[in-house]
């Protein structure tokens, strides 16, 4: 079975909710500690809980695309649509819901032989990682409703995306193309470092900079800080809002078990 078929089958087993948690404080005001709850089976969850789901249907893909277009338009970007280049990468898109409305989305790009979006501008940089025997994946199409989301919502999107690329598909590195104005956020909050110079990205008609992050570092930060939001001011990273190491392993185990169940 090919990788893309495995992704589709894995997503089918988690067609409703992967995780649900309470996080009432908007992102722009920060977030206090919130009680998060792993959903280990398909079940109903309270409407006032945030839920993270895979975009396994056309409707969910449209919901993610709408939020990306909306947020991009607000800052003057053009969201990539049907004009994607040939050889676009395999993707896993996650959505965060509140009251069944999408308040956040993030896409993971996996290199399954067709490359990454980042290769369009930064192939020399990504090839350098590949030449070292590393497996780079990428984060793309991040969009969050800052009026209703929180740091916990943003962290949870990144963490579930990370579990997919790291725990399930065994990628070793992450790259992300960001606007120069947003570089400091990704460096300060997630630990990314500079990896490629500023260039013009035609997909969004805006300047871009390539950032890079080693998965080994994220593993350590999750172990040291995950599930401990009281450390957020001390370490100045987003990782205290990630799930705890035990919950990280639990979510990964259930996703892997779901994938295996769908493959059988």
Provide the domain count of the chain: 1
Across the chain, what does the average pLDDT equal? 78
Joined tokens for residue 71: 């947020």
SS3 of residue 173 by DSSP: strand
Going by C-beta distance under 8 Å and a sequence separation of 6 or more, which residues neighbour residue 190? 158, 213, 237, 238, 239
Q: What is the pTM of this model?
A: 0.78
CA distance 92 to 112: 12
Q: Contact 189/213 with Cβ under 8 angstroms?
A: no
Over 70: is that where the pLDDT of 9 sits?
A: no
What range defines the domain where residue 140 resides? 3-263
Q: Which residues contact 66 (CB under 8 A, 6 or more apart)?
A: 102
**What is the C-alpha to C-alpha distance for residues 220 and 4, in angstroms, rounded to an integer?**
29
Q: What is the pLDDT of residues 217-264, one digit of tens each?
A: 999 999 999 999 999 999 989 999 999 999 999 999 988 887 655 544
- Counts for the chain of helices (H) and strands (E), in that order: 8, 9
Which of the four pLDDT bands, split at 50, 70 and 90, describes residue 151? Answer: confident
Reduced to 3 states (helix: H, G, I; strand: E, B; else coil), residue 206 is strand
CA-nearest of 174, 186, 159, 185 to 242 is 159
Q: Which residue, 248, 50, 222, is CA-closest to 256? A: 248
CATH at 59: 3.40.630.30
pLDDT tens digits, one per residue of 62-98:
555 544 554 455 555 555 543 344 445 688 889 888 8
Nearest to 162 by CA among 183, 188, 191: 191
pLDDT digits (tens, 9 = 90+) for 50-61: 888 887 655 455
Residue 33, phi then psi, degrees to nearest 5: -65, 135
What's the half-sphere exposure (Cβ side, CA atoms, 13 Å) at 19? 29
């Amino acid at each position: 079975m090919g990788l893309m078929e495995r992704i589709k089958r894995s997503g089918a087993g988690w067609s409703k909710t992967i995780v649900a948690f309470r996080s009432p404080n908007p992102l722009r005001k920060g977030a206090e500690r919130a009680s998060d709850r792993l959903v280990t089976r398909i079940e109903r969850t309270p409407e006032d809980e945030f839920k993270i789901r895979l975009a396994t249907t056309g409707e969910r893909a449209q919901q993610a695309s709408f939020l990306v277009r909306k947020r991009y338009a607000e800052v003057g970007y053009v969201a990539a649509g049907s004009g994607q280049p040939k050889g676009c990468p395999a993707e896993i898109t996650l959505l965060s819901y509140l009251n069944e409305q999408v308040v956040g989305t993030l896409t993971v790009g996996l290199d399954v032989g067709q490359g990454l979006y980042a290769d369009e501008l930064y192939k020399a940089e990504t090839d350098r990682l590949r030449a070292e025997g590393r497996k780079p994946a990428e984060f793309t199409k991040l969009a969050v409703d800052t009026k209703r989301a929180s740091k916990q919502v943003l962290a949870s999107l990144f963490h579930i995306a990370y579990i997919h690329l790291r725990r399930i598909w065994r990628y070793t590195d992450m790259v992300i193309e960001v606007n120069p104005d947003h570089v400091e956020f990704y460096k300060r909050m997630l630990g990314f470092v500079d990896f490629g110079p500023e260039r013009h990205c035609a997909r969004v008609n805006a300047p871009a900079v390539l950032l890079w992050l080693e998965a080994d570092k994220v593993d350590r930060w999750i172990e040291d800080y995950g599930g401990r939001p009281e450390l957020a001011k001390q370490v100045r990273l987003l990782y205290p809002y990630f799930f705890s190491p035990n919950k990280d392993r639990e979510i990964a185990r259930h996703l892997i078990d779901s994938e295996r169940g769908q493959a059988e």
